[in-house]
Amino acid sequence: MNFDSFVLTASTADLADEPDARDHADAVEYRMDLADDPLAALAEYDGDLSILVTNRADWEGGEAADTPARLDALCSAVENEAVEAVDVELQTLDDGDGQRVVEHAHDNGASVVVSTHDFEVTPDRETLEDWLSRASSVGDVGKVAVTAHSPDDVLDLLAATRSRTVAGETVATMAMGEAGRHSRAVAPLYGSRIGYAPVDPADATAPGQYDLATLSDLVAKLEGR
């Protein structure tokens, strides 16, 4: 998956949503951890949009038990030709067996998004830049999602996004929660390369997400398209 420019993904646990996403999304983020039989669904997929697969561990906001089977499923998923990117947590690379997912993804021509989430706060700018740099050094995109409680939190995140982008790193950033909601539309102007939004607002997979059509429209207007 090419992250040279902003990629808007439709987040879903049901690949049957893909036709409804085509008018607004560049790709689908398939939440394997929220699906009943994700590998079977991938095998049957015949949609137009390429897929970024996520099998989020329960300790980082997902529903997948952190067992070897979670990473096995990601390795199997990247063998599907429709899967062009995979998400792996930075902590899984630091403390676990995530490197095998990175290597298998690259062997199969898929990009790797290395992510960190904080569902409580927004760390200071130095920490944000450290997370982004470490993630970018081991993956193709370094992703950070934090929880904002004030405009200052969002400013720190945007500053870190801009700093790492200017340094030549490919990053994706967003602030969760109502205080950070606007960051999802604004962050691309500072260098963020991935956005996430549900097709249906009722299916949001993170706090403060816009629905897909709204986020697509906001980003386009801010970029002057």
User: Terminal CA-to-CA distance of the chain, rounded, Å?
Assistant: 22
For 12, 120, 157, 184, the CA distances from 30, given in Å and listed in that order, are: 5, 24, 25, 19
SS3 30: strand
The residue type of 153 is D
Selection from 59, 128, 54 nearest residue 91 by Cα: 59
Residue 131: both structure tokens together: 């997370």
Helices (H), the chain: 18-21, 38-44, 68-77, 90-95, 99-107, 125-138, 151-166, 183-186, 212-222
DSSP assigned state of 209: P
Residue 120: both structure tokens together: 């409580």
Owner of token pair 């939190």: 153
- What is the set of active-site residues? 117, 143
